[in-house]
């Protein structure tokens, strides 16, 4: 099978790694890919949101399966275009991608299908926003409707400041068109959990639950980032919580899509809040694997990833034996000095060669490139994902940080407490 993978982050490096382990995959092309995926297949420099260019590549390389990593090409309709040419694609079409592409659509969808979520109002004018905020108490949650690369949700303690943020969003000054419609909602409390589920439109199966670490510093301090680490599975997400998530969130999502005539083959990412009574609420949908969640969920997936995706495209996920999770993975993200603010690039990265052949420590590239002398150098905010694999969480944490200690680049920083709360739980 000739596979084309779209995207260029550490998530896509992890997806490429998982695909390459399958005996079904005879050739792997990644567009545009990164220095990590270059070790697993052929990178082709191409913007994955350029749909005609993707179609040309598919026919030039005689691709059998297209796998879409990030959300932007899905929202642009890359899957519909490939399916229109009879090519199997893992990733929803434009309509399904609205679950991530429009928060107003996704909140209304949750409401229509009685999926538990924070009560909300949808506003397009500041007067409506003021009413919606005054109905609520602090902290106020203001969200842009459109795609904002993780920067569209604001949790604000002060009413005046919340109104000001809403005004900035509505005017287009803050996030352009993405902020022209807003969601104002109640603030939920509890513990956050990510459940990535795979669906063929008829069946839905959850991968191992995971947890992201969004803040830049230890103990969840400092500004939000694209994710500083993750682990999977999550010890407190027991069978009864997972069963509730299946019944209250995943299955109603699938039947909702079916009722609304939205075909869906791909990932449903459920961003959840679990309250003190262990009840789940859905904060958001995404329509692709999470980053950094994929870097831990794929290494603990005992099945054949390529075979799973093909079964999805052929709408026969129910015929696949769903494997039990045996291992635990912990991902520590190494970031450039200054990230998530400004940072310099081009610093040589030491220690990657020493970790190249390890089975228990995986290093996925994100902001890395190769300089003219063939050295790996930093080329982004989040540079590497260092993943430790072991039988339990403590072992996986030790493995991940032992890998981190072997890597160095100038300005490198990372969180030293990934998964520590979960270890305390155990």
- Reported as type and span, the H/E element at residue 107 is helix 103-112
187 binds, among ligand GLY, ligand AMP, none (CB under 5 to 8 A by kind): ligand AMP
Site residues (CB under 6 A) for ligand GLY? Answer: 150, 212, 227, 286, 290-291, 293
Which residue is nearest to ligand GLY, using beta carbons?
290
Residues 6+ apart with CB under 8 A from 314: 88, 200
Residue 101 touches ligand AMP, criterion: CB under 6 A? no
Residue 283 touches ligand AMP, criterion: CB under 6 A? yes
Q: How far is the CB of 279 from ligand GLY (least distance, A)?
A: 22
Q: And the tokens for 420?
A: 């520590």
Helix 305-313 vs helix 10-20: angle between axes, to the nearest 10 degrees? 90
Nearer to ligand AMP, 143 or 415 (CB): 143
- Reported as type and span, the H/E element at residue 133 is helix 126-134
Are residues 103 and 90 in contact, defined by beta-carbon separation less than 8 angstroms? no
Are residues 37 and 43 in contact, defined by beta-carbon separation less than 8 angstroms? yes
Q: Write the Ramachandran bin of 245: left for phi over 0, alpha for psi from -120 to 50, otherwise beta.
A: alpha
Place of tokens 């199997």: 88
293 binds, among ligand AMP, ligand GLY, none (CB under 5 to 8 A by kind): ligand GLY
Name the one range near ligand AMP by CB under 6 A: 9-17, 183-191, 298-306, 339-347.
183-191
Residue 188 touches ligand AMP, criterion: CB under 6 A? yes
Q: How far is the CB of 405 from ligand GLY (least distance, A)?
A: 25
Give the integer Cα–Cα distance in Å for 213 and 229: 5
Residue 12 touches ligand AMP, criterion: CB under 6 A? no
Nearer to ligand AMP, 142 or 317 (CB): 142
Q: How far is the CB of 94 from ligand AMP (least distance, A)?
A: 20
Which residues, 257 to 276, sit near ligand AMP by CB under 6 A? 271
Nearest to 262 by CA among 95, 68, 90, 74: 95
Residues that bind ligand AMP (CB under 6 A): 118, 141, 143, 152-153, 155, 185, 187-188, 192, 271, 283-284
């Amino acid at each position: 099978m000739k596979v084309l993978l779209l995207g260029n982050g550490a998530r896509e490096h992890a997806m490429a790694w998982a695909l390459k382990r399958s005996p079904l995959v005879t050739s792997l092309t990644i567009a545009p890919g990164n220095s990590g995926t270059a070790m697993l297949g052929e990178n082709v420099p191409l913007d994955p949101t350029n749909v005609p260019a993707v179609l040309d590549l598919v026919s030039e390389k005689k691709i059998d399966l297209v796998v879409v990593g990030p959300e932007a090409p899905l929202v642009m309709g890359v899957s519909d275009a490939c399916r229109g040419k009879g090519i199997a694609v893992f990733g929803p079409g434009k309509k399904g991608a609205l679950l991530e592409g429009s928060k107003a659509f996704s909140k209304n969808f949750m409401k229509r299908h009685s999926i538990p979520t924070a009560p909300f109002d949808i506003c397009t004018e500041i007067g409506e926003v003021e009413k919606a905020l005054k109905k609520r108490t602090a902290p106020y949650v203001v969200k842009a409707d459109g795609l904002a690369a993780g920067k569209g949700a604001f949790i604000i303690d002060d009413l005046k400041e919340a109104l000001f943020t809403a005004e900035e969003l509505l005017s287009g000054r803050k996030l352009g068109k993405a902020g022209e419609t807003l969601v104002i909602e109640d603030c939920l409390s509890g513990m956050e959990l990510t459940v990535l589920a795979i669906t063929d439109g008829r069946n839905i199966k959850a991968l191992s639950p995971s947890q992201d670490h969004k803040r830049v510093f230890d103990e969840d301090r400092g500004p939000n980032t694209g994710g500083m680490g993750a682990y999977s599975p999550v010890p407190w997400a027991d069978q009864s919580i997972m069963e509730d998530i299946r019944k209250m969130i995943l299955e109603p999502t699938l039947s909702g899509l079916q009722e609304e005539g939205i075909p869906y083959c791909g990932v449903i990412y459920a961003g959840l809040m679990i309250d003190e009574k262990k009840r789940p609420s859905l904060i958001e949908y995404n329509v692709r694997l999470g980053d950094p969640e994929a870097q831990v969920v794929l290494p603990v997936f005992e099945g054949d990833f390529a075979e799973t995706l093909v079964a999805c495209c052929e709408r026969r996920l129910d015929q696949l034996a769903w494997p039990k999770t045996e291992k635990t993975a912990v991902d520590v993200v190494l970031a450039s000095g200054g990230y998530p603010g400004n940072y310099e690039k081009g610093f040589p990265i030491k220690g990657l060669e020493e970790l190249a052949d390890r089975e228990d420590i995986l290093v996925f590239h994100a902001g890395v490139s190769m300089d003219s002398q063939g050295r790996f150098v930093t080329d982004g905010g989040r540079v590497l994902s260092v993943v430790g694999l072991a039988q339990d969480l403590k072992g996986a944490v030790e493995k991940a940080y032992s890998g981190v200690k072997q890597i160095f680049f100038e300005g490198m920083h990372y969180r030293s407490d990934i998964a520590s709360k979960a270890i305390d739980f155990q």
